[in-house]
Amino acid sequence: MLTAAYQPSLFAQGPVSAVSRLDRLRRVQLDDMSWVDRGVGVFEGSDALFRELLERTAWEGHRRLLFDRWVDEPRLHGAMPRLSDAMDEAVSGLRAGLADRYQRDFDGGWAALYRDGSDSVAWHGDSIGRFRGDAVVAVLSVGAERRFGLRPDPKRSRGERSNYAWRLGSGDMVVMGGACQRDWQHAVPKMATAGPRISIQFRSPGWDGVGRASRTPSSRVSEHSSGD
């Protein structure tokens, strides 16, 4: 269940805007082949989006095959639901803006719910990186602030490269591109205390669910306040 209440941000309660302020993204060049664009307050009206996603998404718990046993993932997942007309327009506008900025189409989005500070995701690169060397993955964060870490993949490290850690607030976005999914890993670590947070991922074509074969749904969460 949700063990911490979400405190809305004073800067995220504005009207829903299809403009989405992608001009606030700033690039960090990780190495000669990988980059991240990061922006604060990219999606205006993010608190409204958080509330709609929390209430309307059919949240599911997943299990992952880890070495020789199945373990519960410490977060919930769900496909993007049908939202209010205004919010659907805003999210479609965001996706169209990403397509125009990065000159490629993006999928319809996938959501992950971190119920509290004990929910997390370990270091990994998205499976799309195994099939495309120029994958672009955009992550919009809504809800409570959480840390987002980025480090070189230890198995593919090429000399000295820096680790990065940012705090993503409601409406903030990171876009990972180039060889980032292949050569780098990202994570959302556990925290002692944190309110609920939802991340929405938009991926460039080529990601077809490969990698989910090692997962299996463990439960359908009929109400967002339950699922343990």
| pLDDT tens by residue, 80-125 | 999 999 899 999 999 999 999 999 999 888 999 999 999 999 999 9
Residue 49 lies in a domain: yes
Q: Would you say 2 and 228 are in contact if contact means Cβ atoms under 8 Å apart? A: no
Number of other CB atoms surrounding residue 18 within 10 Å: 17
* Residue 211's pLDDT band (cuts 50, 70, 90): very low
Angle between the N-to-C axes of helices 46-56 and 85-102, in degrees from 0 to 180, rounded to the nearest 10: 110
* 18 Rama class: left (phi>0) / alpha (psi -120 to 50) / beta: alpha
Residue 6 lies in a domain: no
- In this predicted structure, what is the pLDDT of residue 212? 42
Residue 145 lies in a domain: yes
Residue 201 lies in a domain: yes
Q: Would you say 106 and 22 are in contact if contact means Cβ atoms under 8 Å apart? A: no
Q: Which domain holds residue 175?
A: 22-205
CB contact set of 79 (below 8 Å; sequence gap of 6+): 57, 58, 108, 109, 110, 111
Q: What separation in angstroms does the CA of 153 have from each of 37, 39, 168?
A: 19, 24, 22
- In this predicted structure, what is the pLDDT of residue 14? 52
Q: What separation in angstroms does the CA of 141 have from each of 41, 207, 219?
A: 10, 21, 24
- Secondary-structure percent of the chain, ordered helix, strand, coil, rounded to 5: 20, 35, 45
Strand order of the β-sheet with 59-66 is 26-29, 34-39, 172-178, 137-143, 197-203, 110-114, 69-79, 59-66, 215-221
**How many domains does the structure of the chain reveal?**
1
Q: Which two tokens stand for residue 20?
A: 């989405």
Residue 11 lies in a domain: no
Residue 76's H or E segment, with its range, is strand 69-79
Q: Would you say 62 and 215 are in contact if contact means Cβ atoms under 8 Å apart? A: yes
CATH number of the domain where residue 117 is located: 2.60.120.590
- Average pLDDT rounded to a whole number, residues 130-144: 90
Residue 188 lies in a domain: yes
Residue 63's H or E segment, with its range, is strand 59-66
Residue 221 lies in a domain: no
Q: pLDDT for 138-177, tens place per residue?
A: 999 999 999 999 999 998 766 667 899 999 999 999 999 9
* Residue 57's pLDDT band (cuts 50, 70, 90): very high
* Residue 69's pLDDT band (cuts 50, 70, 90): confident
Q: Which two tokens stand for residue 159?
A: 């000399």
Residue type, 192: A
Residue 5 lies in a domain: no
